[in-house]
Amino acid sequence: MNSIVDRLSVFVDSLSNRYRAGAFYLSGVRILFALHVLLFPIDWTWMARVPAAFFHPRPGFFQFVHEPPTMNVVLVLSVLRALFALVILVGFQTFSASIALSAVLISGAGLSYSYGKLDHFILYESFPIFMAFAGWGAALSLDSRRHPVRTAHGFPMLLWAVTVAFALFTAALPKALGGWLNPAREASRGYIARDLADGQKVGALAPILMDVHSDVFWKSFDYATLFAEGWLVFAVFVPTFFRLGLALIVAFHIGVYLSLGIDFFAYLFLYLPFFAPVVDAVHRWLVRARVRRRVVAGEAHWRTG
């Protein structure tokens, strides 16, 4: 028994190390994320402008909120969001500020989802908590100037990978149960057709796609979607496969945006921490290429005297 536990522990340690991103890279993600929160904030003020009777919190923490938010509450939440994002941007008390930012994002979102629509941005809203533990304030920050220990942790990154993989799995499971696996039922085509018939929100490529009448084409879309969302819960145990899977998911988000007009680009930030080795490889390749160019130039200079 002990030997199994030991082996599993070794495996988890090894996974953590392979998911670990460098402090400098993670800090870059932190700065980008903070800028996104600051520059593209979701408007919450509309909640205070609509009649109270529309407010009906869904199950969960927010079912204990019985009154819709007043304009003052919404403004305080918006100011706090900007303040914490700013503090995270410069990296001051990054750990506490990250947790506070997640709390504010979840509060604002939870209130706005009490008007009937859940926008499924929980990964975006909880991202700062995981990254705080991963050490995204360890470099390029005021914190790192005061305590110059540039460290990043792999285990929180592993937990984040598990969270992302599970979240995407919850998108695949209902599809599989709802007929997407049936070769005679073309789901992707159905959703694009429905949007076109409705006419309120249509993806840029939807009219062109509707001209494609190949059943094989449409069904392959469905299966690709199911695969891209579903296999990550297995791929999470092989970081290289997980990264490949995330690249596929990014392509999927782009496809959804172009065909259905649903914008999930904010989610790109959430996948960025996993691509540290890719960025690293590109960086090393660029450095090597530069050195090679200099050597070649030096040799040519030497030959020509």
Partner 1 sequence: MGRCRKPDSFSSGDVCGKAGLSSDRTESSCDAGRYKRVPSAKLALKSRRRLLFLAAFGVFVAVQGFYSFELSPEPYPSIRMPSFGVAPDTEGHFRSRVLTISIRYEDGSVVFPMASELMQDFRFSAARPSLDYMFLGEEARVDDQVLRWLRKQGTRLGNGSEPTVITFSVRATSVDIRTAKYLPGGEIQERQIRL
Q: How far is the CB of 37 from partner 1 (least distance, A)?
A: 17
Binding mask 226-245 for partner 1 (x = CB under 8 A): ---x----------------
Closer residue to partner 1 (CB): 14 or 220: 14
**216 φ, ψ to 5°?**
-65, -45
Q: Which of 91, 110, 230, 245 binds partner 1 (CB under 8 A)?
A: 110
Show Cβ contacts of residue 43 under 8 Å, excluding neighbours closer than 6 positions: none
Show Cβ contacts of residue 231 under 8 Å, excluding neighbours closer than 6 positions: 245
Q: How far is the CB of 32 from partner 1 (least distance, A)?
A: 14
First CA to last CA distance, the chain: 72
* Cα distances (Å, whole numbers) of residue 86 to 80, 90, 122, 155, 253: 10, 7, 21, 27, 28
CA distance 292 to 162: 40
Closer residue to partner 1 (CB): 34 or 225: 225
Residue with structure tokens 């998108």?
171
Binding mask 143-162 for partner 1 (x = CB under 8 A): ------xxxxxxx--xx--x
Angle, vertex CA 111, rays to CA 109 and CA 114, nearest 5 = 105
For partner 1, the binding residues in 163-192 under the rule CB under 8 A are 163, 166-168, 170-175, 178-180, 182, 184-187, 189-192
Q: How far is the CB of 107 from partner 1 (least distance, A)?
A: 10
Q: Contact between 299 and partner 1 (CB under 8 A)?
A: no
Closer residue to partner 1 (CB): 6 or 299: 6
Q: How far is the CB of 274 from partner 1 (least distance, A)?
A: 11
State which H helix or E strand residue 85 sits in.
helix 71-90
Q: How far is the CB of 286 from partner 1 (least distance, A)?
A: 12
Q: How far is the CB of 87 from partner 1 (least distance, A)?
A: 23
Binding mask 40-79 for partner 1 (x = CB under 8 A): --xx--x--xxxxxx-x-xxxxx-----------------
For partner 1, the binding residues in 205-224 under the rule CB under 8 A are 210, 213, 222
Taken as a whole, the chain contains a residue count of: 305
Burial class (CB in 10 A: 0-12, 13-18, 19+), 56: exposed
For partner 1, the binding residues in 89-108 under the rule CB under 8 A are 106
Asked if residue 218 lies in contact with residue 186, where contact means CB atoms within 8 angstroms, the answer is yes
**CA proximity to 131, closest of 41, 36, 28, 35:** 28
Count residues near partner 1 (CB under 8 A): 96
Q: Which of 200, 302, 303, 304 binds partner 1 (CB under 8 A)?
A: 200
3-class DSSP state of 291: helix
